[in-house]
């Protein structure tokens, strides 16, 4: 063990509007805190924020010993049940956030021909969507046959962003091949992000009852505040044991 690995972490707000975006931000903070405590290197690749400080989509790279083995069980739809701050009548709302964990693969494992992709350049944007660069350093790559689109806009140069975007595309294509090999390929899971409907959930975060339930193994944990602060080891360890 202790193999140095790199993963692509994708977080996307699903059903639930602003509340889903706010919870997406909380999940990102949870994973980032967990990574910090393990001295993993975390780097943002692309993100789009909502008007209320949440996240619509976020893509980051995390690097460290056994990082894929630790994060792989986080892939799926995370459901949150709570009373939003804006809710005047005290009703509990249900929202969803999709998380995808993709393992980066070496260039030689997934060969991508230049004729199979379309590359666009644009100016990277900061919070609120304003352009932060005068030159077009950001890269958008479209894989023509699968329709997968990847973006990298946080690196300083166009070539660095292109390299990062290609790494994400390779990871996504490798995941598709893995799914095909397992015979579980469905059109919705092409990029390993579900449709984020409320039904296809792996975990529910119930705030009124201070309870997180993992539906794959039927186990619950309390002290949600501590877990959302990055203390996710109990969940990871339990899932790892069940999947041995």
**Pick from 182, 204, 222: which residue ends a domain?**
182
pLDDT value at residue 212: 95
Poorest-pLDDT segment among 27-36, 89-98, 178-187, 231-240: 178-187
90 plus 12 within the same structural domain: yes
Angle at alpha carbon of residue 219, lines to 35 and 31, rounded to 5°? 15
10 plus 66 within the same structural domain: yes
94 plus 201 within the same structural domain: yes
90 plus 122 within the same structural domain: no
Above 80 in pLDDT, residue 233? yes
Report residue 15's pLDDT band, with 50, 70 and 90 as the boundaries. Answer: confident
Above 50 in pLDDT, residue 211? yes
Q: What residues contact 188, with CB distance under 8 A and at least 6 apart?
A: 194, 195
What CATH number is given to the structural domain containing 61? 3.30.70.1660
Find the mean pLDDT for residues 194-198: 43
Above 80 in pLDDT, residue 244? no
177 plus 191 within the same structural domain: no
Q: 149 is in which domain, residue-wise?
A: 114-182
Which among 192, 59, 168, 61 is positioned nearest to 112, based on CA atoms? 168
146 plus 53 within the same structural domain: no
135 plus 40 within the same structural domain: no
**Pick from 182, 206, 225: which residue ends a domain?**
182
Poorest-pLDDT segment among 23-37, 69-83, 103-117, 126-140: 126-140
94-127 per-position pLDDT tens digit: 999 999 998 888 778 788 888 888 888 887 765 4
Above 90 in pLDDT, residue 29? yes
34 plus 118 within the same structural domain: no
Q: Which two tokens stand for residue 71?
A: 């994060």
Q: For residues 99 and 76, is the Cβ–Cβ distance under 8 A?
A: yes
pLDDT value at residue 139: 85
Above 80 in pLDDT, residue 87? no
Provide the edge-to-edge strand list for the sheet that holds 138-143.
Answer: 117-122, 138-143, 149-152
Q: How many domains does the chain have?
A: 2
129 plus 194 within the same structural domain: no
Average pLDDT, the chain: 82
Angle at alpha carbon of residue 68, lines to 181 and 213, rounded to 5°? 95
What CATH number is given to the structural domain containing 145? 3.30.160.20
138 plus 229 within the same structural domain: no
Angular region, 218: left φ>0, alpha ψ -120 to 50, beta rest: left
Angle at alpha carbon of residue 121, lines to 119 and 124, rounded to 5°? 135
Find the mean pLDDT for residues 66-88: 88
Report residue 183's pLDDT band, with 50, 70 and 90 as the boundaries. Answer: low
Burial 26-63 (b: 16+ CB within 10 A, else e): bbbebbbbbbeeeebebeebbbbbbeeebbebbbbbbe
Give the burial class of 108: count Cβ atoms within 10 A of its Cβ; 0-12 exposed, 13-18 middle, 19 or more buried.
Answer: exposed
86 plus 194 within the same structural domain: yes
Q: For residues 47 and 58, is the Cβ–Cβ distance under 8 A?
A: yes
**Pick from 163, 182, 201: which residue ends a domain?**
182
Poorest-pLDDT segment among 19-23, 78-82, 173-177, 232-236: 173-177
More confident residue, 189 or 216: 216
pLDDT value at residue 33: 95
Q: For residues 75 and 9, is the Cβ–Cβ distance under 8 A?
A: no
139-171 per-position pLDDT tens digit: 888 888 888 888 888 777 888 888 888 888 888
> Which range, 82-86, 101-105, 132-136, 193-197, has the best average confidence (pLDDT)?
101-105
Poorest-pLDDT segment among 165-179, 192-206, 209-223: 192-206
178 plus 209 within the same structural domain: no
Q: Distance (Å, rounded) from C-alpha 233 to C-alpha 179? A: 27
């Amino acid at each position: 063990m202790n193999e140095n690995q790199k993963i692509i972490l994708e977080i996307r707000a699903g059903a639930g509007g602003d509340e889903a975006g706010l919870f997406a931000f909380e999940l990102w903070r949870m994973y980032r805190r967990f990574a910090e405590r393990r001295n993993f290197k975390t780097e943002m690749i692309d993100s789009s924020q909502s008007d209320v400080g949440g996240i619509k989509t976020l893509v980051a790279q995390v690097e460290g010993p056994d990082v894929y083995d630790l994060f792989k069980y986080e892939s799926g739809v995370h459901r949150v049940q709570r009373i939003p701050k804006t809710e005047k009548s005290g009703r509990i709302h249900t929202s969803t956030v999709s998380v995808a964990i993709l393992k980066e693969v070496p260039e030689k494992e997934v060969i991508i021909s230049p004729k199979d992709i379309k590359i666009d350049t644009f100016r990277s944007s900061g919070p609120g969507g304003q352009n932060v660069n005068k030159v077009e350093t950001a890269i958008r790559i479209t894989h023509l046959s699968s329709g997968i689109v990847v973006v990298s806009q946080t690196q300083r140069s166009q070539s660095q962003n292109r390299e990062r975007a290609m790494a994400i595309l390779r990871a996504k294509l490798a995941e598709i091949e893995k799914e095909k090999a397992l015979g579980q390929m469905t059109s919705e899971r092409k990029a390993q992000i579900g449709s984020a409907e409320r039904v296809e959930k792996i975990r529910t975060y119930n705030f009124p009852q201070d309870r997180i339930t993992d539906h794959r193994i039927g186990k619950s944990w309390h002290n949600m505040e501590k877990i959302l602060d990055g203390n996710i080891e109990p969940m990871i360890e339990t899932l790892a044991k069940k999947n041995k």
